[in-house]
Amino acid sequence: MSSAVFWGTLAAVFAAGLALTGLVENEYYYNALYLILQAMLMAVAWNILGGFTGYVNFGSAGFFAMGAYTTVALHKALGLPLPLLILAGGAVGGLVGLGVGYLTLRLKGVYFAIATLAMAIVVETLINNWTYVGGARGFYILTPEKHLWFDSYIQMLFVVMLLLTLAAVAVSRILNSSRLGRGLAAIRDDEIAAECAGVPTLKLKLISASVMGAMMGVAGAPFPFFVTFVDPVSAFNLFIAVNAIAMPMIGGTAHWIGPVIGALLVGTTQEVVKVTVSSEMNVLIVGIMLVLFITLAPQGIVGLAQRLRARGSR
Amino acid sequence: MSGMVLRAEGVTKRFGGFVALQEVALHVGPGERVGLIGPNGSGKTTLINCISGALASDEGRIEFQGRDVTRLPPHQRTRLGVARTFQIPKPFRSMSVLDNLRVPLEYAAWSRAEHRRIRDEAMETLELIGLQHRAGTSAASLTQVDMRKLELARALAAKPRLLVSDEAMAGLSSSEVDEILEILLALNRRGVAVIMIEHVMRAVMKFSERVAVLVAGRKIADGNPQAIAADPNVIKAYLGE
Amino acid sequence: MVSADLLANAVAAGVLLGGFYAAVAIGLAIVFGQLDIVNIAHPAFIIVGSYVAWIVNSTFGFDPVLIGVAVAPLFFGLGVAIYRLYYAAFERTGQESLSGLAFFFGVMFIIEVVLIMVYGVDYRLVQADYIGRTWSVGFVDFPLRMLVPFTVAVALTGAVYLYLSRTFMGRAIQAVAQDRLALQLMGADPVRVKQWAFGLGIATAAIAGALLIIIGPVEPSVGRQYIGRVFAIVVLGGMGSIQGMFIAGLILGVIESMVSTFVGPSWAPAVAFGVLGLTLALRPAGLFGRQ
């Protein structure tokens, strides 16, 4: 996809989103779209360290929750506006990504994966015990009065999330085809060979982990305003953790468009299932899809498409 | 600044109780061709790993072009001009052959490459190796011999002053061995010093100006190839015991 | 001022708990320690074991430990089947790391969600004579619902240790990660050996599950609390060392018990990961690790 087509598509999607807010009033759609976009942002973020660099992060829920709880804490303490809260969430996520990375990215990938899980649980325990933000009992946030020119607050949140997600996709694409991206791919393919080819592997891995952490923190920052009641159970959600891994793996991890496709496909399916069947069924479905794709189509949908195209051109 | 491209002194490496290298010294002059031989398990690859930085030596000092690199990580040594190939090729499988070369050009040789011409420089290196027709092929689908060539090409793309070739010819046919030999000689003609680790004796003899012999972690001989070949200690190490 | 009474009981509880933790971790010690397979779904299999024990116990009244032992062969078969799937999809093609991890992650979620869908989120427990009784020595209490699992755990660890060091298959399992050549010289097929080892690991989950539900009530998400503990124990103990794993289990149990008693029970989940983090930062090979 050429740059012109890419940026044109992004602009068109954003314009369509804005147009939607003028046409549709039913809040259900904005709720659903917000969740799908949130999942897409998490998937794109995960893929930067997972797909591009080859290091699995099991603690996505932890980064997300940190963004959410940074918002809670700062909102309660200083009453900051949403844009600053998003920046703060990103900063916290990025710093934690850097910190966990610094401690464990020098060890084998497996230990990093376990360490991220550890981080998520430690953070959850800390927040459970932190009464200022509500601890285990949770925290209520009132929906703010101001929502610019939109009809309702949820419409504004939707547009904000749309903007954030599109920005993340753009960052991901730029990364994918840049010198930095090739360095990350070399690390993923063969870290020792990359190191001996002059790639500063530790530095690049740390950058990758920080970017991922920051994006996930950004994804979590508006969440308290979306749900109005935040508690550790909803923030450190099973669902968020599985989706962050499943969507990129189903869509295809090597390419920036993989998580986007995965999120659209899986996210829409989940919305439909949630409404028609049940929420637990969703986790079951995504778990089964994940296992099926990993075993049968490890390159994801993008990989399948590439193989079909290669076969077609013979 | 000493004239030496590589000066390794007193290199010792232990794995638990096992001493893999015991005070090994190796010097390589600019543009020199050195063969490194020794029975399996004598420590040749360990020595290379210590020189390239993949392993940290327990004792000893490694200098590259007069600069102490003993504590530097591998990627910095590569940037200074030490390149190595791996015994079992480690290509970047998700990339094309050409992109495999872009990585060292964009990282190891970044300051020495002409940035707008990265693609062209990669193609030039491929032509030197004879892989230019495979530029667009995925590295994962190369033949064994082409993978060895890609290993060499990638090391070359880092624009080294010293190249260590670790058993690049193992298991190849006679004509394939000659191909690799030609590449190494052509490289050497451009001023790159080469350490060749091999078991294919005729290649070592033909290629080397000097041969060093490693047995059980110690260097037992270092000198003229003909003299080494006739040295009773060397013969005993390979055939006897 | 810390009373001796409180301290002694905290330590005693910690030791009993730690022994139990070893039973929980032993399956992973085999699979991760010997085979380098990161089965983070292991605790989920333990929960399945707990539910099996609950179902049979509430229907027929059999003792949970006996149920666990009786069901272990079935779990062995399950383990073999899962390994074959894992092997066909990943090990053969060399894709282990990323995909293998994600595979078990997916399996873990599937197990948990199926349990929720079939049995709901209510806590389940088992009935047995010894649950509720306590054996006291001076001012130190040993609740039987912890002492019995501790004893079984010790027996289980001992049995696995003997198996791995004395039998042909056991030694083949130890060899398979370290020395493929030795394995071939022994005449053993690596795939069959790994299959057997994985089955053994899952079989221990049947017993560990029964022990878990004796100690306390179980519901589907309890498994996730044990992920950190099992990895902390295996890493702290050192890869490849069963004795090390047991000792690490005791250490973790005691630390957790002390934290729970003197700081607060809501901090206990973080202990395991704190231990894991410290181990990885200071001594990644663990106490008795082979590398």
Neighbouring C-alpha atoms within 13 Å toward the C-beta of A110: 15
Per-residue pLDDT at B239 exceeds 70: no
Q: Which two tokens stand for residue B29?
A: 């002059």
CB-based contact C106 A287, cutoff 8 Å: yes
The 10s digit of each residue's pLDDT in B97-136 is 999 999 999 998 877 666 668 888 889 888 888 888 888 8
Residue A262 has what pLDDT? Answer: 94
Residues of chain C positioned with their CB less than 8 A from the CB of A109: 97-98
State the pLDDT at residue A279: 73
What ipTM goes with this model?
Answer: 0.88
List of chain C residues whose C-beta atoms are within 8 Å of the C-beta of residue A56: 97-98, 101-102
pLDDT band, residue B210 (cuts 50/70/90): very high
Segment C194-223, tens digit of pLDDT: 899 999 999 999 999 999 999 999 999 888
pTM: 0.87
Q: Do C117 and A119 touch (CB under 8 A)?
A: no
Least confident segment among A301-305, B15-19, B32-36, B63-67: B15-19
Look at C40 and A107 and tell me if their CB atoms are within 8 Å. Answer: no
**What does the pLDDT average to over A72-78?**
90
The answer, yes or no, to whether residue A144 has pLDDT greater than 80, is no
Confidence at C52, pLDDT banded by 50, 70, 90: very high
Mutation for testing the C interface, residue in A291, A292, A293, A296 having most C CBs under 10 Å: A291
Strand partners, B11: B24
Q: Nearest-CA residue of chain A relative to C99? A: A294
- Between CA A94 and CA A101, with CA A95 as vertex, the angle to 5 degrees is 90
Residues of C within 8 A of A270 (CB-CB) are none
| Residue C94 banded pLDDT, cuts 50, 70, 90 | low
Q: In this complex, do C113 and A280 lie within 8 Å of one another by their Cβ atoms?
A: yes
Mean residue pLDDT of chain C comes to 86
Which pLDDT value is given to residue C181? 66
pLDDT at C95 over 70: no
Contact B152, B168 (CB under 8 A): yes
Position C96 confidence tier, pLDDT thresholds 50, 70, 90: low
| Pairing mode of beta strands B193-197, B162-166 | parallel
- Beta-carbon neighbour count of residue C118 at 10 Å? 9
The gap between the terminal CA atoms of chain A, to the nearest Å, is 22
pLDDT at C78 over 90: yes
* pLDDT above 90 for A290: no
Max mean pLDDT among A33-47, A243-257, C161-175 falls in: A33-47
Instruction: Name the residue facing A198 among B90, B91, B107 (closest C-beta).
Output: B107
Residue C264's pLDDT is what?
Answer: 82
For residue C69, the model assigns a pLDDT of 93
* Mean pLDDT, chain B, whole residue set: 88
| A192 vs B: CB within 8 A | yes
Dump pLDDT digits (tens) for A185-210. 999 999 999 999 999 999 999 999 99
What pLDDT band is residue C72 in, cutting at 50, 70 and 90?
very high
Q: CA nearest B101 in A: which residue?
A: A197
CA distance A152 to chain B (A): 47
What integer pLDDT is reported at residue B17 of this predicted model? 77
Partners of residue A244 in chain C, C-beta under 8 Å: none
- What is the pLDDT at residue C100? 80
CB contact under 8 A, A197 and B110: no
Q: Which of A69-83, A193-207, A240-254, B1-15 has the lowest mean pLDDT?
A: B1-15
User: Which of A312 and B152 is assigned the larger pLDDT?
Assistant: B152
Residues C134-160, mean pLDDT to the nearest whole number: 90
Highest mean predicted confidence (pLDDT) among A289-303, C175-189, C207-221: C207-221
pLDDT, chain A, mean? 88
Q: Using CB atoms within 10 Å of the CB of residue B135, give its burial: 0 to 12 exposed, 13 to 18 middle, 19+ buried.
A: middle
Put simply, the answer to whether B90 touches A182 (Cβ < 8 Å) is: no
Name the nearest CA neighbour of A242 among A209, A287, A278, A282.
A287
On the CB side of C172, CA atoms within 13 Å amount to: 19
The answer to whether B51 and B6 are in contact (CB under 8 A) is yes
Stretch A47-66: mean pLDDT = 91
Contact A280, C220 (CB under 8 A): no
Q: If pLDDT is split at 50, 70 and 90, which confidence band does C93 have?
A: low
Does B96 score more than 50 pLDDT?
A: yes
Name chain A contacts of B106, Cβ cutoff 8 Å.
Answer: 179, 182-183
